[in-house]
Amino acid sequence: MIYLDNAATTFPKPPSVSNAVKDFMENCGGNPGRGGHELSRMAGDRVYACREALAELFNIGNPERIAFTKNATEALNTAINGIVGEGDEILISAMEHNSVLRPAVAKEQDGAVLKIIPADRDGRITPEAVEKMLTRRTKLVCIIHASNVTGTVNDISAINDVAHSLGALTLFDAAQTAGLLPIDAADFDMLAFAGHKGLYGPFGTGGLYVREGLSLRPLTYGGTGSVSESALMPDIFPDRLEAGTVNAAGIAGLLEGVKFVREQAPGERERDMAKKLAEKIGGISSVEIMGDNGVNVLGLRLRGVDCVDAAGRLDSEFGIASRGGLHCAPLAHRSMGTIGGGMLRLSTGAFTTEEDIDAAAKAIEAIVKG
């Protein structure tokens, strides 16, 4: 199997990640923050070490402002639900994933005002496009860092400045970039990330950074192991957003994933392999590479071939894992003019080899030539 579906989740994970999960399960599986005994303390230490490693990676001063979630979707829902109320204006982009579109539309149904910022022909959201739609009533601007459909990267620092200039809060979706591109979140209001993609952590890991001084209505209410006498959720972070037991075994694995990323030049191999693949595929007539790929993702339009069928053939005839269709991002496909047939997406990982790239390019050529 040649795995080119790393944008869905990275595979394989570094052995250190699986080993850390196993070690946690066998040697330190107490409930973190829920007891003074040694196993609970050991578990709490691993969880905190992971918060620290992530804070360092994203240039966040206080690791306690990172709340763990089960994935990027939960982090994005927590942020959108926690900030946007009836009558508030929320701006999202035309490249957003359903994990932003759906909670934003749910907020619109509850009385918020939803506006969608258009993308340029590469699928990029420019600071100018954001500025055009921003008003003094805008409460939240939520923008994807890199598209999961085309790999186009947005200048989120510039967008952050534009949003702040009219007093709006910012939320950036780093599901496709955490661990693959440098991210400096120091001036952002919120950043959502997945643990199981470019950070090479296990399933069930992700998180939301919320800047100091900003409080959110929680998505989930319950025990936190702190302020137990109160019927209200604590104001302190991360407890406010972490009701119930966290996925400590997964987080122990994620810690090793973050270390793995930091030991390499983050994302360099993935980008390099994607670039080589683009060079090889770019020469095949009837294949169009969509957008402006700045991460590990290539979105392809195949003339005369259905993209879902092509992904099926890559799997069954060539043993290559890819993803065809709409990639949970119908807005993005509408923007790129591919809502009808979708695209074929190939996404590289830290373990992708030149041989994988050669085989994928040959297989695609064979499929489009019929």
The residue from 13, 46, 65, 97 that contacts ligand PLP (CB under 6 A) is 97
| Closer to ligand PLP by Cβ: residue 42 or 336 | 336
The residue from 194, 241, 302, 360 that contacts ligand PLP (CB under 6 A) is 194
Smallest separation, CB 67 to ligand PLP (Å):
15
The residue from 6, 10, 40, 73 that contacts ligand PLP (CB under 6 A) is 73
How far is Cα 351 from Cα 108, in angstroms, rounded to an integer? 42
- DSSP count for the chain of H helices, then E strands: 11, 13
Question: Is 148 a binder of ligand PLP (CB under 6 A)?
Answer: yes
Largest CA distance in the chain: 69
CB atoms within 10 A of CB 317: 11
| Beta partners for residue 288, in sequence order | 301
- Cis peptide upstream of residue 127 (ω within 30 degrees of 0): no
| Closer to ligand PLP by Cβ: residue 40 or 352 | 352
Size of the site for ligand PLP (CB under 6 A): 12
Smallest separation, CB 207 to ligand PLP (Å):
10
| Closer to ligand PLP by Cβ: residue 194 or 274 | 194
Task: Tell me if 265 sits within 8 A of 63, measured CB to CB.
Answer: no
Question: Is 144 a binder of ligand PLP (CB under 6 A)?
Answer: yes
How far is Cα 142 from Cα 92, in angstroms, rounded to an integer? 5
SS3 143: strand
Interacting residues with ligand PLP between 324 and 363 (CB under 6 A): none
Smallest separation, CB 96 to ligand PLP (Å):
7
| Beta partners for residue 300, in sequence order | 289, 344
How far is Cα 319 from Cα 308, in angstroms, rounded to an integer? 15
Smallest separation, CB 75 to ligand PLP (Å):
8
Buried b (16+ CB within 10 A) or exposed e, 15-35: ebbeebbebbeeebbbebbee
Please choose, out of 57-65, 112-120, 169-177, 298-306, the segment that lies near ligand PLP by the rule CB under 6 A: 169-177
SS3 307: helix
The tokens of 258 are what?
């973050």
- Cis peptide upstream of residue 12 (ω within 30 degrees of 0): yes
How far is Cα 207 from Cα 267, in angstroms, rounded to an integer? 19
Please choose, out of 126-134, 168-176, 237-245, 270-278, the segment that lies near ligand PLP by the rule CB under 6 A: 168-176
Please choose, out of 43-51, 101-109, 170-178, 222-230, the segment that lies near ligand PLP by the rule CB under 6 A: 170-178
The residue from 175, 208, 295, 350 that contacts ligand PLP (CB under 6 A) is 175
Question: Is 253 a binder of ligand PLP (CB under 6 A)?
Answer: no
Task: Tell me if 57 sits within 8 A of 183, measured CB to CB.
Answer: yes
| Closer to ligand PLP by Cβ: residue 173 or 270 | 173
Question: Is 99 a binder of ligand PLP (CB under 6 A)?
Answer: yes
| Closer to ligand PLP by Cβ: residue 188 or 318 | 188
Residues at the site binding ligand PLP, with contacts judged by CB under 6 A: 71-73, 97, 99, 144, 148, 173, 175-176, 194, 206
